[in-house]
């Protein structure tokens, strides 16, 4: 049985070592901040491109791995955008946008939409979604959304989208893990049906 008096207080567990690994304060210094980034990178995700239009109708797109589900009823999703992104001024509350979930053969699309100043839409096959929002051809699934809320979160803003239409095309997804783009691979077995 755990003695709760031993795990209370600010320093509880401060000298904990897990399987030979020391804990790190992610804000301690530059090295620790890099470790924080690397540690976050161990959380495997899919890869999306968020697309929208400027007020004058120009195409906007950004590669994003921070996408996640938020609510089933109402249907909400979320993601975050860096303050430094050239796309930061778009995706305002009320704006329409689309989540394009990339397929495993769309690595070049992921790289292309992660580069500032690039003509991101140059060699991409486009479809027109709700309100003319650009959809990228060849994706796994699409979520057409409207920005429901936007919240500050450190050096990013959190964007909450209300989903208005979905397309589940059903293809193998592109993955992001350990700073690298990856495919699922046939050797990966389903270990639980969640
Ligand atoms: C796999 C991957 C995932 C990324 N995820 C995010 C993210 O969740 N949020 C974000 O703001 N930037 C993310 N980025 C970085 C942006 O794609 C990139 O900084 C940005 O698009 C640069 O172009 P921009 O200045 O025109 O936005 C990611 C990049 C890659 C390659």
Is 190 inside a domain boundary? no
Question: Are 40 and 126 spatial neighbours (Cβ–Cβ below 8 Å)?
Answer: no
Mean pLDDT of 27-49: 97
- The confidence score (pLDDT) of residue 7 equals 53
Is 38 inside a domain boundary? no
- Looking at residue 129, the DSSP 8-state letter turns out to be -
Is 24 inside a domain boundary? no
Q: Is the dihedral of CA 43, 168, 147, 106 positive or negative?
A: positive
Mean pLDDT of 35-55: 97
Is 125 inside a domain boundary? yes
- The confidence score (pLDDT) of residue 126 equals 95
Residue 1 CA to ligand 1 centre (angstroms): 46
Task: Please tell me the pTM assigned to this model.
Answer: 0.92
Which ligand 1 atom sits closest to the C-alpha of 156? 11
Higher pLDDT pick, 47 / 1 = 47
Higher pLDDT pick, 4 / 121 = 121
Which ligand 1 atom sits closest to the C-alpha of 118? 26
CATH number at residue 99: 2.30.110.10
Split at pLDDT 50, 70, 90, the class of 123 is confident
Question: Are 108 and 179 spatial neighbours (Cβ–Cβ below 8 Å)?
Answer: no
Is 123 inside a domain boundary? yes
- The confidence score (pLDDT) of residue 118 equals 80
Domain encompassing residue 61: 45-180
Is 111 inside a domain boundary? yes
Is 27 inside a domain boundary? no
Mean pLDDT of 7-32: 87
What are φ and ψ of residue 124, in 5° steps?
-110, 135
pLDDT over 80 (residue 27): yes
Please count the structural domains in the chain: 1
pLDDT tens, position by position, 63-87: 999 999 999 999 999 999 999 999 9
Question: Are 93 and 181 spatial neighbours (Cβ–Cβ below 8 Å)?
Answer: no
Residue 110 CA to ligand 1 centre (angstroms): 9
Is 51 inside a domain boundary? yes
* H or E element in which residue 108 lies: helix 107-112
Residue 120 CA to ligand 1 centre (angstroms): 12
- Looking at residue 175, the DSSP 8-state letter turns out to be E
For a substitution probing ligand 1, which of 82, 155, 159, 174 has the most ligand atoms within 8 Å of its CB? 82
């Amino acid at each position: 049985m755990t003695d709760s008096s031993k795990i209370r207080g600010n320093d509880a567990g401060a000298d904990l070592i897990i399987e030979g690994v020391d804990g790190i304060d992610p804000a301690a210094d530059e090295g620790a901040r890099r470790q924080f980034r690397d540690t976050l990178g161990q959380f495997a995700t899919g890869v999306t491109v968020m697309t929208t239009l400027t007020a004058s109708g120009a195409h906007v797109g950004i590669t994003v791995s921070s996408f996640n589900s938020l609510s089933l009823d109402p249907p909400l999703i979320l993601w975050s955008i860096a303050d430094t992104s050239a796309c930061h001024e778009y995706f305002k509350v009320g704006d329409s946008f689309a989540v394009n979930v990339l397929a495993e053969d769309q690595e070049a699309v992921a790289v292309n939409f992660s580069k500032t100043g690039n003509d991101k839409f140059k060699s991409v096959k486009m479809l027109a979604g709700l309100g003319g929002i650009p959809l990228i051809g060849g994706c796994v699934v699409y979520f057409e959304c409207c920005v429901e809320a936007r919240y500050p979160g450190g050096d990013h803003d959190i964007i909450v989208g209300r989903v208005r239409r979905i397309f589940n095309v059903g293809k193998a997804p592109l993955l992001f893990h350990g700073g690298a783009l990856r495919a699922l691979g046939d050797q990966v077995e389903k270990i639980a049906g969640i």
